[in-house]
Amino acid sequence: MNREKLSPLRLYLVPLLVVLAIVLLVPLVLLPQLEIIKEKNLEVQKGQKRLDSLNTKLELLDSIDEEDESIKLIDMEEVVPSSKELARLVVGVRSLASKAGLSVKAMELSPGRVATQSATPSATKRAKAAVANANKEDKDKTTFTLSVETKKIGDLQKFFTHIQKAKRLLGVNVVEINRDEEGLYTFELEIIAPFREIQSRGDIVASPLPPLTRIHNEVFDFVADFVNFTNVAVQKVKTGVKDPFK
């Protein structure tokens, strides 16, 4: 009798438990698979977008004159170099002063944050102040003081004229002007030479090409005819020798 009463219960309970088990197991198994499919689909979409960007960039690169772009890049590298090139800069500025008839009395260099205090040469109070100010400036500038002498005030004007025509971008501030009893002028100049380091920006293969606007072309045409006074070959010497000038 009891078995007959339990039979209908088994008849409905067992299928119900099976259905309930399926309902609970399907999300646990199916949802992770759906999440994986979704992630793969997003990767495919990103890859397709990157491929489209690459194809567009290749079409633009094919239309560019590589030789002309390389020449422009070299010219602009002379205007604002990617490295400090301190030796060429110092020799070039001295050459500019000499061409103008100025006698270089002293030069105090503050190459920036890369130089330690032990590498800083002994300097006058004004030069030391310039070094302290340079340490507060952005690290993409090289600042140094130049002390020059002349008996003709026009020589300084010639020097400024050469600076204006120099392809290497230079800024000049007159710090101090003195004149002795014999009519000899002494000028303390602060020279500012910017440079722009090349920084890695990660994966830029598929990034769009930067636009070349009319302003960029006007800037290039403006500096194209300038003279590179600081393009001076500086002979390198061995380190650790007693006399590096031999």
In the chain, the percentage of residues whose pLDDT exceeds 70 is: 72
Residue in this structure with the two tokens 């302290």, named with its chain if needed = 132
Amino acid letter, residue 92: G
Reading the block at residue 23, the tokens are: 């309902």
The pLDDT score that the predictor gives to residue 88 is: 82
In the chain, the percentage of residues whose pLDDT exceeds 90 is: 4
Other beta carbons less than 10 A from residue 56's beta carbon: 13
Reading the block at residue 156, the tokens are: 């300084």
Strand order in the sheet with 171-179: 103-110, 141-150, 185-194, 171-179
What is d(CA 148, CA 101) in angstroms, rounded to the nearest whole number?
Answer: 10
The domains of the chain are located at: 1-63, 77-196+214-224
Q: What is the dihedral of CA 76, 95, 147, 239, to 10 degrees?
A: 90
Give the mean model confidence (pLDDT) for residues 173-180. 84
The pLDDT score that the predictor gives to residue 217 is: 83
Q: Which CATH class is domain 77-196+214-224?
A: alpha beta
Reading the block at residue 26, the tokens are: 């399907």
Higher-scoring residue by pLDDT: 215, 113: 215
pTM over 0.85: no
Higher-scoring residue by pLDDT: 90, 232: 90
- 90-131 pLDDT per residue, tens: 888 888 888 899 998 888 876 554 443 334 444 455 555 555
What is d(CA 108, CA 19) in angstroms, rounded to the nearest whole number?
Answer: 88
Amino acid letter, residue 49: K
The pLDDT score that the predictor gives to residue 12 is: 65
Contact 145, 126 (CB under 8 A): yes
**Which segment of 42-56, 71-85, 130-144 scores lowest on mean pLDDT?**
130-144
The pLDDT score that the predictor gives to residue 136 is: 47
What is d(CA 178, CA 148) in angstroms, rounded to the nearest whole number?
Answer: 11
Q: What is the dihedral of CA 128, 150, 85, 80, to 10 degrees?
A: 100
- 10-69 pLDDT per residue, tens: 666 667 777 777 767 667 767 777 788 888 888 888 878 878 888 887 777 777 777 887
